[in-house]
Amino acid sequence: MKPLEGITVLDFTQAFSGPYCAMNLGDYGARVIKVERVEDGDQSREWGPYADNGNSGYFALYNRNKESIAIDLSHSEGKAIIRKLYAESDVVLENFKYGTMDKLGLGYETAKEINPEIIFASITGFGQTGPLKKNTAYDNVIECMCGYMEITGYPDGPPLRSGASVGDSYTGITMFLAIVLACYDKKLTGRGRRLDVAMLDTMFAAVEEAILAYSLTDSPVSRSGNAKPREIVPYDTYECADGIIAVGINDEDMWPDFCKAIGMPELTDDPLYADNDMRCRNFESFTAMMKNVMKKESKEYFMERFSSYNIPASPLLLPLETLANQQFIHRNMVLDIEDSNVGKYKAFGIPIKFSRTPGEVKKSSPLLGENTIEIMKSVGYTDQMVAKLIEEEIVGAAESRCMEK
């Protein structure tokens, strides 16, 4: 039995943060019923990259382990279906703009009246309170607003957003944790609740020492490339004769071995670099010296040297190169998935490893409306009633689309 088996999640989310949260819930055994628009479903079904058949790989990646029901939520009959599903669900998850669920007549108060123990989880850009609550936000806007972008990049270059949409993934993981905590508390107390997670809040909590440094010293912290010149030296990327490696040490005990690894044992007691405080003060001269040293040999040479002294280091890998990395493969972090929408593709695995009842990818992403009929029948609709609602385009079913084709 999986950790979240027996939990039913009614998932209204689209795009990234919400689907990523719901995917994690599904990976650990929750039943996730994805509610999609009748016409074209989750907006990310239109996002690239695309498979040869034109379907979205992006949607496939973040919507595994889910069922799909397609409903017109603007129609009274569509709302009636949702109310029936509220009675059978443990968790409602949504990432619409602030107030959308209330406007539909399907907000927390409605859900709580139907099912007093329900957990109603809302992801938004700015949260359910505050002067910006009605504003729309995307990852780049949030990174810019919370200071994350200002501390990313090189000092002589412009601020940069992160290479991946960390605001979305971090917010999704934060809500995943919130839902698991709420489910645990519900098991103890029998009480549901409203959960409010904002992208801005989660990213603000991730700016690390920038806020702390300013509050303690009144000195602003700005971008420093791949280094941490105020905290740890060496901790940077360096260009070897044939490419880039990252290397760092986290305590003084490593410093003598680092010096031996680069072939400069005399640096160990050099008054300019003998301890981390001095190396931070002399960061520029240290970095210039390291650039000269590292250019003389290959990545393989330095990786062997650092490995022999147990110094943390890695060559720069392209995303595709990670698929062949034996550590990822050994940890089952590279999966081959046969998907209903895009066919066979490679995906990331499940990062949390359990000694028993581990997470699992049981099914691929769903076709639009793949489970509409069975879900509706499970809450009391007959075949005739479902057929009528399909004909009226109040609900959609994958079976009916296949028949039309």
> Which are the catalytic amino acids?
168
Residue with tokens 């479903």: 41
Residue with tokens 């740890």: 232
End-to-end CA distance of the chain: 39
Tell me 8's DSSP state: E
Distance CA 325, CA 315 (A): 12
Q: What CA dihedral angle connects 143, 145, 146 and 149, to 10 degrees?
A: 40
Q: Which two tokens stand for residue 200?
A: 């801005």
**Which residues on adjacent β-strands are paired with residue 35?**
69
DSSP string, 175-204: HHHHHHHHHHHHHHH---EEEEEEHHHHHH
Tell me 221's DSSP state: -
Distance CA 156, CA 165 (A): 24
The residues near 318 (Cβ < 8 Å, ≥ 6 apart) are none
Residue with tokens 């607003």: 145
Whether residue 316 contacts residue 247, with contact meaning beta carbons closer than 8 Å, is answered with: no
Whether residue 168 contacts residue 139, with contact meaning beta carbons closer than 8 Å, is answered with: yes
Question: What 3 state SS string does 338-371 have?
Answer: EECCCEEEEEECCCCCCCCCCCCCCCCCCCCCCC
